[in-house]
Amino acid sequence: MYVPKKLKQPCLLFVPLALSFFSTAMADDFNKTFEKAVKFGQEDGKYGQLKFDLRFRYENADSVNPTRKTANGFTGRLRLGYLSPVFENLQGYAEFEANQDILASTYNSGRNGKTKYETIAEPQQKELNQLWLSYKGFPETEIKIGRQRIQFDNERFIGAAAWRQLERTFDGLYITNTSIPNTIIKLGYLLKQQNTDSTVHRMQLPVVNIAYNFEEFGTLASYGYWIDDHDQRPQDSNQTYGVRLDGSYKVSDDLRLHYNAEYAFQRNYAGNPTVYKVDYYHFVGGFSTFGITAKAGMEELDGKGLNETFDTPFGLLHKFDGWADLFLTTPDKGLRDVYASLETDLDGFKLSGIYHDFTDDTTKQHYGDEWNFQVTRQFFKHYNFLAKYAYFSADSNGMKIVNSTTPISLYDTQKFWFAVSITF
């Protein structure tokens, strides 16, 4: 039986900031002063606006892997940006981002060479996170060029991965059009990715996403993504086409149904030397009643061998397939995640729990299961607290699986997170 190792920094198991001790009146006064300050003293922001995002996070990662030591990471992330006022339909934004290791943390960031520790993918880096110019001179259209945050649908395929301290941004051209009633058309041509480890990846990535909103039932989206990675990793070049329905339906004042259905297929593209075609499925059903939301779902990413797997390299990976992050790339035999979740709100605290059961895409090989729990709370509009836990139980410790990058071994693994953030 797996027994978690003792946390090395128990003092960091804090609960919601000293904010809980502030009076509401004091917090309101401070917020109004700061809100006015970031707009340079002008309510209408006619001189533009500063953007401020500060997040402190502690993470503990531990497993029974005998070659890895327990990792403890305490990091502080700052984003500081300036959004210009609109002039002749033009607007610009520049944002600096930095992540700082605090208290001489002991973890493998992927870039610091501390490979004897478990991985906490939060490198100490400074970077230009966004730098873009937008134009809104055409009816119901925005054209944006430069380094920017891009998110489609639930971010499974294209997303900022904002869970990480350093988020993902893209360099390129991005167009949004809403001229057709209830429809959002998004077109992009992306040339560079700045990843969550602050490395830069060059590629050619045209993207199309068209979403139609059925007001009472949900949103139907269709999409296409074409990854041309011929310069660095031609075996990762692929083309993806899919359709997604996401919505809910109010049955009565006390009951609302939730549903999601998505299908996509992926095949080789551009200079990829491997000819293949694989599928993706995601189905969710659930309901909300008396303040409780319950859902059950199944997500499957097919695999037919090495370099023949359904991959989503530019998506928000942490959100899917368990928070322990053991399936960030698809195993060569595919991945099926059958899961169930519960969510509720208790006196302002949002509580959630998820159970996952992982197998290959045929269910013949069982990888393991995982429990996830999370508590979040927003204080005084601009302040947030998060406590989060993930425990993965491997079907067999040391089980080797092969993915598109390198073979990995699955071990019983647990992770803790505690975070506080301030955003203006």
Which pLDDT value is given to residue 45? 83
72 within 8 A of 106, measured Cβ to Cβ: yes
* Token pair for 186: 């998004």
Mean pLDDT taken over the chain: 92
Asked if the model's pLDDT at residue 354 lies above 60, the reply is yes
Which of 30-34, 98-102, 186-190, 402-406 comes out lowest in average pLDDT? 402-406
pLDDT digits (tens, 9 = 90+) for 318-353: 999 999 999 999 999 999 999 999 999 999 999 999
Query: The pTM is what?
Result: 0.91
Interatomic CA distance for residues 236 and 274, integer angstroms:
10
| Architecture of the domain spanning 13-423 | Beta Barrel (2.40)
Interatomic CA distance for residues 66 and 398, integer angstroms:
10
Asked if the model's pLDDT at residue 1 lies above 50, the reply is no
The domain segmentation of the chain, as residue ranges, is 13-423
What type of residue is 7? L
Asked if the model's pLDDT at residue 5 lies above 70, the reply is no
Strands, E assignment, 116-199: 125-135, 141-148, 169-177, 183-194
Which pLDDT value is given to residue 403? 77
Residue 167 exposed, middle or buried by CB count within 10 Å (0-12, 13-18, 19+) = buried
pLDDT tier at 31 (50, 70, 90 boundaries)?
A: confident
Which of 9-13, 182-186, 207-211 comes out lowest in average pLDDT? 9-13
Q: Token match 């309101």: residue? A: 28
Over residues 141-151, the mean pLDDT reads 98
Over residues 409-423, the mean pLDDT reads 97
pLDDT tier at 25 (50, 70, 90 boundaries)?
A: low
pLDDT digits (tens, 9 = 90+) for 59-96: 999 999 999 999 999 999 999 999 999 999 999 999 99
Element (H, E) at 29: helix 24-37
